[in-house]
Chain A
Amino acid sequence: MNRPPDAHPRGLCALAAQQSVEAIGGAVPLLQGGRTCTLRLYQGMSQANGNQGVGYDGGSSIACTGLHSLYGSRPDCTDLLPNALEALARISEADLFVVLTGCPAELIGDDVAGEVRRFREKGWPVVHADLAGFSGDAWSGHERLCRALVDQHVSETFEQDERLVNLWGPVPYLDPHWEGDLLELSRLLSGLGLVVNPLFGCGSSVAAWKRIPSAALNLVVSPWLGTALCHHLRERFGTPSLQVAVPPVGRAATESFLRAVAAVLPVDPLRLDAFLASEEAIFSRFLEKGSDLFLRHDERAPERFHLVADSYVALGLHRFLACEMGLPAGVVILIDRPRHGREALLELFRSAGKRAGEISFADGTDIAEVLRERLSRESGRAIVLGSLWDEPLARELGAAFLPVSAPLGDLLVLDRSYLGMRGALRLLEDLWGAVLS
C-alpha cells in the first residue's frame, strides 16, 4: 500500500482554509457545500487545537448555501448561490465575501467561479476559492485561498510605502500559535521601525489585503509555504520578497531574522543594534535565571527531544533547542508535504550538525511506528514535542511530552508564541514544566 491509513488526521483538507477566512477581520465566508464540513473543521482546528475561538464570522455556524443533494430535483445547484449571496449581503457587516466550494460543488462541476465572477463584475466584493476536501490538505487550501484573494480582490493601483511589510507565515488556526506568532513577528519588525500589514489575526482587515501592493517587501517566514505566492506577487506588482526559512526562535535566529530584513529595507543600523541589545538583555537575564535548573543533574531532565510537527513549527523549535540550548534531537518527523524543495528543507535541519537527529517525512500510522521504534531502543529520558496524537505513546514509553503542533488538544491558546527571544523563554518554561511535572 502506498499510503498508510490515517489514524491521526493532522493535515485535514483544503477546506480547512475556511479558518483562514475567519482570521481576516471583515471577511465573511459563504460555503457552497455541506454544512457539516464547517463544524468538523472548526472542531478539529479550533476547539481541539487549543480552543482558539470562533473568529470574525465563524465557529460551528458559517453561512452556507445548503448544497447537499446531487441527485435531487434541483438540476443546477448554482442557482443557490446568487440568492444566498444577495441575502447574506443584506444582513452582514462584511467588507468581503469569500465563497468556498467544498467536495459536492467540485464533484458536480458547479460553475461557482463563473457565478462569483459575474457578481464581482457588478462591483460586489466577492472572491471564490476552490477548496474541495479531496483535492489537497490544509496547507494547499491556505495557499489557494491566499492566491484567490490576491488575484480576485487586490487591484493594481497602489502607492508604495517603504515601511510596510506583508508577512506570510503560519497557517491560521492549523498552527495553534499562529496569532501569537504574527503578533511577535510584528513586534520585532516594529522594533526596526517597520509596519506589518495585518493580513490575518489581531487587527487584520480586508483593507490590509488591498494594501498588499503598497508594501515594500513580502516577507515569508516559513520554509516553503508562501514562497509561490510571493513569486506571484513579485511578478504582478514587482514587490521584492525575502524568505526567512527558519522561524526565529531564540537569540541567534531572531538576530539573523532581523538583520536579514534590515539588509533589504531602509532600517537605521543604530536602531537595529539598539533593539537587538534590548531584546538580548532580557533574554540573557532570564536564560541565566533558568540556568540553575538547566545545569543541575536531574534524572527527569531530557537527554534528547523528538519532534512531530509541520516544517514551520519544527524548524524553529529544532534550531533553537539543538543549536542554542544544546539539546540533541532524536527523530524529527515532518507531517507537511512541500511540493518542491524537500531535500533543501531536510538540509536546513541537518545544518544543526551533530545534534540534528534523524529527519524524515511521514504521515498516518507510520509516525507512531517511527517514534515507537526510536523511543523503545534508546536509553535516558526524552521529551516528545508533538500533537495530541503523540502524547499516549510518549507517556507509554516514559518520555515527557509538550504539545506544539495540531491538534494541540485540551489547552487554551490565546496569544502564545515561541517566536523571538521572548517566545523562546516561554518555550523553555513550557518545556521544563512538562519535564518536571
Chain B
Amino acid sequence: MLRAVAPARAGLSLDRDAELRALSYLGCSYRGSFSLLGILGSIPEAVLVSHSSQGCDADFATAELRFRRRFPGSGTSARTVGTSLTESDVIFGVEQRLSEVVDEVMARYSPRAVFVRAKGCAAGRSGWEVQEEINLLRRRYQVPILLARCDALRERASKHHPRLHDDAWRHVPGRQAATGTFFNKIEFGREDGFSRLLDRTGLPWNSMAIGASWDAWERSGSAKASLVLSSVEFGDDWSEMLARDWKVPATKVAPYGFEGTRMALKAAGEATCEPSRFRFLSESEEARFRDPLRELRSTLAGKRILPLVAAYWGDDLSIVSMLGELGAEVPGLGVNGERWESLLGPSDVADSFYGPDGLGLGRMGGYKLLSLLKELAPDAVVAMHNGVAPWCARLGIPVLEIPDPRAALPFQGMEGLVRFGQKLSNLIDNPLFAALSRRPVMPYRREWLATPLVRELP
C-alpha cells in the first residue's frame, strides 16, 4: 500500500489557496461555460451572447472548429456573439453594452431565442443587474432571452458549473405542440457510436445534441422519457428540469466498456419499455466485438496505464473501468481490495483524480503532476484535459489525450472500447515519445522532479 508524503516533507510550505500549476480544466465556473457555448451556440435558430471582455471569448474559435467538424461542408457557423467589454464599459456600466448588443442581435438575426452567457470578471462586478437587464429585454422582444451565469469571480467549475438560475428556462420545454410518443436522447458529446446504436432500435428519438434545432428543445417537455448519454452538466440540468417541471422521467447511462454498455442498454430498455429490442442489440454487439477484445487484452495485459482524469460526474470511473476490461493495470487503484491513499490534496471528490479512494492530486495539486508521473513511470497515460499531453511527452511517457472534460468520452459502446484499446496498444513502445523526450524543455527543477510524493507502506 502506498501512503502520501506530507507536503512539508516534500519540501514545500504552501498556502492552501495557492495553485502553483493551475490545472485550468478545474478552473473557475467560466470554464464550465465552454459547454454552454458548444451546445447553445450551435442551435441554428438561436444566438448565444457572451457577456465579457473579448479574451474570455477566445474559446469561440475552438467551438467554431468543433461545430465545423460536426457539420462538415454545411457552410454554417456557430451562432455566437460577444459584448467585448472594455474599460469604459466596466466603469460606466456593462448593462448598457449588453442591451445594445442584444438589440443588434435581434435586428440582424431575428433569433427565436437568445442566450446570455454571463458573466466573466469584467461583467461580474455589477452583480445581479444583468438579470434585471435581461428581464427588460425579454419584455421588449417577447422571445426567450435566457441567462446562464458563470461568474469567474465567485465560483469554481468543479463545484458550481453554470446553472440555469434564470427561472425562464423552465418555460422553454413544452412550447412546441408534440405528440408525446418520442423519447429525448440528450447527447452533447463528440461521439456518435452509441447514439447510432440507439437509432438501430427504430424508436422515435428527439435528439438533443450539438446542432439540434430549437424545436427539439421546445418539444422536449412532451417526451415519454429522457435518456442522458453524456456527462455534460448542462444535460443533467436539463433532464432534471424536465423530470421536475414536466414530469419526463430521466435515465442517465454511462455506456463505456462491455459491462457499461450492457447496463446502459438494459436501462434504456427499461426506460422505453422496450427491453427486448435493447437486449438484442446488446447481444449482437457483444458477439461482434468479443474476439477483438480478447486479442487486445493479451496485448495490454499488465501494462500500467495511468488515467489523468478529473473526477467529474463519473468520467474517471468510466475510464478506469474500460482500462480494467482491457486487462491494463491502473496505478493507484487497489489490488485485492486494497487501495492507495489519496495523494496529498484535500479529499474533495470533484477536484481530485479518479474518485474518493483513488489517486488524487487535489484542486491545488497540479504542480505535483510531473513529479508524480516521473515517480509512477506508467507505460502510458490517458489524459482527459487538453494541454496536459505535452507534459507527459516531455517525460517520454506515451500519452493519449482525450480533450475536453465537458463532453462525452469519445469511446462509447463496445465498439468504442475496442477502438480505445487499439489506440492504447499503438501507444505502448511508440517511438514518437522517445523522439519527443530527446531534448525536453522542462521548467521544473530536477530536485523537485525527484522528490518522492508517495511511499509504499509495509
* Interface set of A (CB-CB < 8 Å, partner B): 1, 3-9, 11-16, 25, 28, 31, 33-45, 47-49, 53-54, 56-66, 68-71, 74, 79-80, 83-84, 87-88, 90-94, 102-104, 107, 132-138, 364-365, 388-389, 392, 395-396, 407, 409-410
* Contact (Cβ within 8 A) B121 A133: yes
A-B contact pairs, 26 of them (CB 8 A): A6-B84, A12-B54, A12-B58, A25-B441, A34-B30, A35-B22, A35-B23, A43-B59, A43-B386, A59-B387, A60-B388, A61-B24, A62-B22, A63-B22, A66-B19, A80-B15, A83-B18, A87-B14, A94-B443, A103-B121, A133-B121, A134-B53, A137-B54, A365-B104, A388-B61, A392-B77
Are the CB atoms of B55 and A41 closer together than 8 Å?
yes
Known: A28-B443, A59-B387. A45 touches B58 (CB 8 A): yes
Q: Are B27 and A35 in contact (CB under 8 A)?
A: yes
CB-nearest residue of chain B relative to A74? Answer: B17
Q: Complex Cα distance A377/B30, Å? A: 42
Which of B20, B56, B84, B155 contacts A37, CB < 8 Å?
B56
B residues 67-109 near A (Cβ < 8 Å) are 68-69, 75-77, 80-87, 89-90, 100-101, 103-105, 108
Is A61 a contact of B23 with CB atoms below 8 Å? yes
Q: Are B154 and A35 in contact (CB under 8 A)?
A: no
The yes or no answer to B311 lying at the interface (CB within 8 A) is no
- Asked if A61 and B15 sit within 8 Å, CB to CB, the answer is no
Q: Which of A3, A25, A63, A135 contacts B84 (CB 8 A)?
A: A3
Contact B28–A13 (Cβ < 8 Å): no
CB–CB B20/A84 < 8 A: yes
Contact B367 A68 (CB under 8 A): no
Shortest CB distance A389–B (Å)? 8
Q: Which residues of B contact A364 (CB under 8 A)?
A: 84
Q: Does A13 lie within 8 Å of B121, measured CB to CB?
A: no
Of all chain B residues, which has the CB nearest A64?
Answer: B22
B268 close to chain A: CB less than 8 A:
no
> Residue B157 at the A interface, CB < 8 A?
yes
The chain A residue with its CB closest to the CB of B56 is A40
Q: A48-B61, A134-B90, A410-B65 are in contact. Are A6 and B54 (CB under 8 A)?
A: yes
CA distance A41 to B124 in the complex (A): 19
Residue in B27, B68, B85, B444 whose CB lies within 8 Å of A34: B27
On whether the beta carbons of B121 and A7 are closer than 8 Å, the reply is no
In the bound assembly, the distance between CA atoms of A321 and B17 in angstroms comes to 54
Chain B residues 1 to 56 lying within 8 A of chain A, measured CB to CB, are 11-15, 17-28, 30-31, 49, 53-56
User: Which residue of A12, A70, A107 contacts B55 across the interface (Cβ within 8 Å)?
Assistant: A12
Q: A91-B12, A93-B444, A392-B75 are in contact. Are A134 and B19 (CB under 8 A)?
A: no
**Contact of B323 with A by CB under 8 A:** no
B80: chain A residues at CB < 8 Å are 7
B140 within 8 A of A: no
The answer to whether the Cβ of B163 comes within 8 Å of any Cβ in the partner chain is no
Contact of A134 with B388 at beta-carbon distance under 8 Å, contacts A9-B57, A34-B27, A87-B20 already known: no
Residues of B within 8 A of A137 (CB): 54
Q: Report whether A47 and B391 are in contact in the complex, using a CB–CB cutoff of 8 Å.
A: no
B358 contacts partner chain A, Cβ-Cβ < 8 Å:
no
Check if A133 sits within 8 Å of B153, measured CB to CB.
no
Whether B154 contacts A68 by the Cβ 8 Å rule is yes
Q: Determine if B62 and A44 form an interchain contact, defined as CB atoms under 8 angstroms apart.
A: yes
Residues of B contacting A48 in the complex (Cβ-Cβ under 8 angstroms)? 61-62, 64-65
* A5→B62 contact, CB < 8 A: no
Residues of A within 8 A of B443 (CB): 28, 56-57, 92-94
Closest Cβ of chain B to A189, distance in Å, is 25
Q: Across the interface, do A40 and B14 meet the contact criterion of CB distance under 8 Å?
A: no
Complexed CA–CA distance, A33 and B100 (Å)? 28
Q: Shortest CB–CB separation between residue B346 and chain A, in angstroms?
A: 13
Is B20 within 8 A of A44, CB to CB?
A: no
> Given A87-B12, A133-B53, list of 20 further CB < 8 A pairs?
A1-B100, A5-B49, A9-B82, A12-B55, A35-B26, A43-B386, A45-B58, A47-B62, A47-B386, A59-B391, A61-B388, A64-B19, A66-B364, A84-B18, A93-B444, A94-B443, A103-B152, A104-B152, A134-B122, A396-B75
Q: Is B340 an interface residue (CB 8 A)?
A: no
| Residue in chain B with minimal CB distance to A58 | B387
CB-CB under 8 A for A365 and B53, given A35-B19, A61-B388, A68-B152? no
| Interfacial chain A residues near B20, Cβ < 8 Å | 63-64, 84, 87-88, 91
Query: B339 an interface residue at 8 Å Cβ cutoff?
Result: no
Within the complex, the shortest CB–CB distance from A25 to chain B, in Å, comes to 8
Residue of chain A at shortest CB distance from B443? A57
Q: Are B60 and A9 touching (Cβ within 8 A)?
A: yes
Contact across chains for B12 and A9 when beta carbons are under 8 A apart: no
Q: Which residues of B contact A136 (CB under 8 A)?
A: 87
Is B445 part of the binding interface, using a Cβ–Cβ cutoff of 8 Å?
yes
| Complexed CA–CA distance, A180 and B124 (Å) | 39
A88 to B20, CA, bound (A): 6
Q: Does B128 contact A (CB under 8 A)?
A: no
Q: Which residues of B contact A65 (CB under 8 A)?
A: 17-19
Nearest residue (CB) in B for A42 is B387
